[in-house]
Structure 1
Amino acid sequence: MKRSERKPKKLWFKVPLAIVLIILVGVGVYVYSIYDNAKDTVNEKMHEPVKSIDHTLTAKKMKATKPLNILLLGVDARANDRGRSDALMVMSLDPENNKMQIVSIPRDTRTMIVGKGFNDKINHAYAYGGADMSVATVENFLDIELDYFVRMNMQGLDALVDQLGTITIDNKIAWQDGKYNFTKGPTTMDGDKTMHFVQMRKQDPAGDFGRTARQRQVIQGIVNKGASVASVSKINGVIDVLGNNMTTNLDFDDMKKLLSGYKGTRENVVSYMMKGNGTTIDGTYYLQVPDSEVEKVHGMIAEVKS
């Protein structure tokens, strides 16, 4: 098993687009007037099959409402640049116990890049081979089986929050960043303020781990707001944002089955951040995740799947 981790080179927000999938799991009701728009957007703009996932086997699991593992990739993609998956999470859905588990994999984790044959930062797998190579690399790293992936260009996150209106979270620490004054306690944010909230690292005593915790708070805030969206215009707006910024091997029928069979999993969300030790190899920073930690996370995911 392998590992790796690196110091953030820039502070662009890298929240996993668990967001989208969780909203799709959480919104829970389709309005007839947006049905066709949603179907066309998902199947024609968002759907992207990958060879590393056996969709026939996954479809059988979905039909039987079995637990599923979904890789969430938050990518900072620019024009003529595929980008890197600077946020990676494995989301496990347990419909029998109405539980959702989200495990964060630090982007600088040093591990074997499947298809390349050498060790590198795990987030480089996406740059080398897109979602397909990311899926294969995470499966190899954790010795697990993934059923779906969801990739979101994080440049669209602020637009997603703005389409929902605002989100509210319980801020744990107070700070100012020159534009916004973040006070402790309930904090309501639009898209731009949300980006500032998750970008901050240096003023957080917990550093990157604190930033990751804030990312999870934002996800939960979006879940809560998304679950209450009833306006057709808002839902259509969300669909348009997702269509321009999200890809997944889920098709529209898969998403409908998630809504009907896995909606209850959002009632009990637990999260975990993989741990390791920073090291420098040939002048490059990595996070070395010990075998014991990899085995622990493998067990957490396997327990959901059992």
Structure 2
Amino acid sequence: MKKKFIITFILSLALFAGIFWVANKVLDIMELTSKVEFVGSDLGEGNNIEQRVENELLFLVLGLDSDDFSGATTEQNRTDTMILCKVNFDTGKIDILSIPRDSRVMVNGKLDKINHAHHFGGLKLAMKTTRDFLNLDIDYYVRVNFFSVKDIVDALGGVEVDVPVQVDVAEDNVHLKPGKQVLNGKQALQFARFRAGYKEGDVGRVKAQQILIKALVKELTKAKNIAKIPEILEVVKKTVNTNIPFSTIAKLSLKVSNLSEDKINTQIVPGESAYINNTSYFIPDRSKLNAIVKEMFSDYLLNKSGSSQVDTDKNKNNTNTKNNNNKNNNTNNRNNSNNNKNNNNKNNKNNKNNNR
């Protein structure tokens, strides 16, 4: 069975495609990037695209289970990876929240896996589902297919990664031992797709992808890679589409020198795996997730109380429980009242007989 993967931070390749513009090289970045599909559309219902914090971007990366670019723009594909990213170009800080693909959330009015949202309703439903789930004003997206990581790593001449576990993928003849090593494109792709060796399963794979993200950002910010911009852009334009305006990217790229690997903060939606009706799900930990969202994305909260969809679900369950308890209490009180009435009648009858 074909394994599926998409690198979680491809926007570090699309958004930062002009990353070395500040080096004053004679490259026409405007012309090189003009072929990348920047589709400026507002996917929120009653929500206007706006930049809430100056020189900062919040965007959702959607990696689709597709082998070609046509799949990256096909609405029926499921998202194999979903990552929320916030980049502040003044401070250089990058916040990344990975969302396990099996997360059980409200999708189109019923509980389902979050990766089904794109399949059922394309970008609009995927964005709305994520926005409701996290209670965040998310306007921008980037969609990519999994070949991006292979081609970009090869364009960079490899990337150094600290591999946490033994990785064996026989069908592609990829065998990696734990430890630091330079991976080529095929090895990097399989490293990020691999999950059989992790006790946490898909969560372990998500952590591996975050390791690769940091390694890619580190490699991309090296001065030696300036000359490789055209080759990287060729990959980007074939595998990425986004609604982030190029004018915004061009403006923010002037501040890319502030970014660095050690300023990346990575988190994963907390929770645990569970089987419900013979289906495997990831059940988010509601209270822990809300704390993470408040800490990482407070400027983008839709409900300033910080309550997310998961809180709403919990409150709904609590309300149902409370109603059931009240109903039971009313029934018990009614029964007790009837019993007391019967006992009083019986006592009155006995007293009447005794008086005779």
TM-score with structure 1 setting the length: 0.83
Instruction: Please tell me whether the aligned partners of residues 41 and 239 of structure 1 are also in contact (alpha carbons under 8 angstroms).
Output: no
Deviates more, 1:69-78 or 1:171-180: 171-180
Q: Give the drift of 1:214.
A: 1.2
Q: Paired residue for 1:284?
A: 279
Instruction: Please tell me whether the aligned partners of residues 23 and 227 of structure 1 are also in contact (alpha carbons under 8 angstroms).
Output: no
- What is the one-letter code of the residue matched to 1:293? K
**Bigger Rg, which one:** 2
Q: Paired residue for 1:194?
A: 188
Structure 1 185/26 Cα, relative in aligned 2: closer, same or farther at 3 Å? farther
Structure 1 247/160 Cα, relative in aligned 2: closer, same or farther at 3 Å? same
Does 1:171 pair with 2:163? yes
Structure 1 237/48 Cα, relative in aligned 2: closer, same or farther at 3 Å? farther
Once residues 93 and 225 of structure 2 are traced to their aligned partners in structure 1, the CA distance between those partners, rounded to angstroms, is 28
Once residues 295 and 21 of structure 2 are traced to their aligned partners in structure 1, the CA distance between those partners, rounded to angstroms, is 27
- What is the one-letter code of the residue matched to 2:138? L
Does 1:275 pair with 2:270? yes
After superposition, residues 92-131 of structure 1 pair within 5 angstroms as: 92-113=86-107, 116-131=108-123
The one of 290, 296, 305 aligned to 1:301: 296
- What is the one-letter code of the residue matched to 2:85? M
Q: Give the drift of 1:146.
A: 1.4
Instruction: Please tell me whether the aligned partners of residues 162 and 179 of structure 2 are also in contact (alpha carbons under 8 angstroms).
Output: yes
Higher relative contact order (CA 8 A, sep 6+): 1
Q: Paired residue for 2:229?
A: 235
Instruction: Please tell me whether the aligned partners of residues 150 and 248 of structure 1 are also in contact (alpha carbons under 8 angstroms).
Output: yes
- What is the one-letter code of the residue matched to 1:33? L
Once residues 51 and 172 of structure 1 are traced to their aligned partners in structure 2, the CA distance between those partners, rounded to angstroms, is 38
Q: Alpha-carbon deviations, 1:232-291, whole Å to 9, x = none?
A: 662111111111110111122111122124652445001011121223333322212132
Q: Alpha-carbon deviations, 1:160-185, whole Å to 9, x = none?
A: 21112211111222343332331232
Q: Alpha-carbon deviations, 1:11-54, whole Å to 9, x = none?
A: 32232124424644754537443324334123xx3435233262
Does 1:214 pair with 2:203? no
- Could you list the runs of 5+ residues in structure 2 that have no partner in the other structure? 302-356
Q: SS of the counterpart of 2:112? A: strand
Structure 1 19/75 Cα, relative in aligned 2: closer, same or farther at 3 Å? farther
Q: Paired residue for 1:5?
A: none
Structure 1 136/31 Cα, relative in aligned 2: closer, same or farther at 3 Å? farther
Instruction: Please tell me whether the aligned partners of residues 175 and 181 of structure 1 are also in contact (alpha carbons under 8 angstroms).
Output: yes
Q: SS of the counterpart of 2:35? A: helix
Once residues 168 and 285 of structure 2 are traced to their aligned partners in structure 1, the CA distance between those partners, rounded to angstroms, is 36
Instruction: Please tell me whether the aligned partners of residues 26 and 223 of structure 1 are also in contact (alpha carbons under 8 angstroms).
Output: no
Structure 1 181/283 Cα, relative in aligned 2: closer, same or farther at 3 Å? closer
Question: How many residue pairs are counted as aligned between the two chains?
Answer: 289
Instruction: Please tell me whether the aligned partners of residues 87 and 94 of structure 2 are also in contact (alpha carbons under 8 angstroms).
Output: yes
Deviates more, 1:26-35 or 1:82-91: 26-35
Higher helix share: 2
Does 1:14 pair with 2:6? yes
Q: Give the drift of 1:216.
A: 1.0
- Could you list the runs of 5+ residues in structure 1 that have no partner in the other structure? 1-8
Q: Alpha-carbon deviations, 1:131-189, whole Å to 9, x = none?
A: 22222111110101114211111133211211122111112223433323312322111
Q: Paired residue for 1:250?
A: 244
Once residues 179 and 241 of structure 2 are traced to their aligned partners in structure 1, the CA distance between those partners, rounded to angstroms, is 34
Q: Alpha-carbon deviations, 1:31-90, whole Å to 9, x = none?
A: 443324334123xx34352332623x22xx46x33x432111111225575421111111
Does 1:51 pair with 2:63? no
Structure 1 278/231 Cα, relative in aligned 2: closer, same or farther at 3 Å? closer
Structure 1 249/225 Cα, relative in aligned 2: closer, same or farther at 3 Å? same
Q: Paired residue for 1:3?
A: none
Does 1:203 pair with 2:197? yes
Q: SS of the counterpart of 1:209? A: helix
Once residues 176 and 247 of structure 1 are traced to their aligned partners in structure 2, the CA distance between those partners, rounded to angstroms, is 32
Q: SS of the counterpart of 1:293? A: helix
Once residues 164 and 286 of structure 1 are traced to their aligned partners in structure 2, the CA distance between those partners, rounded to angstroms, is 37
Does 1:77 pair with 2:70? no
Q: Alpha-carbon deviations, 1:77-122, whole Å to 9, x = none?
A: 2557542111111112234543111011111111112xx3222111
Q: State the superposition RMSD in angstroms.
A: 2.7
Instruction: Please tell me whether the aligned partners of residues 25 and 259 of structure 1 are also in contact (alpha carbons under 8 angstroms).
Output: yes
Name the % identity.
23
TM-score with structure 2 setting the length: 0.72
Once residues 231 and 15 of structure 1 are traced to their aligned partners in structure 2, the CA distance between those partners, rounded to angstroms, is 20
Once residues 109 and 291 of structure 1 are traced to their aligned partners in structure 2, the CA distance between those partners, rounded to angstroms, is 12
Q: Paired residue for 1:157?
A: 149
Deviates more, 1:102-111 or 1:294-303: 294-303
Deviates more, 1:138-147 or 1:230-239: 230-239
- What is the one-letter code of the residue matched to 2:268? M
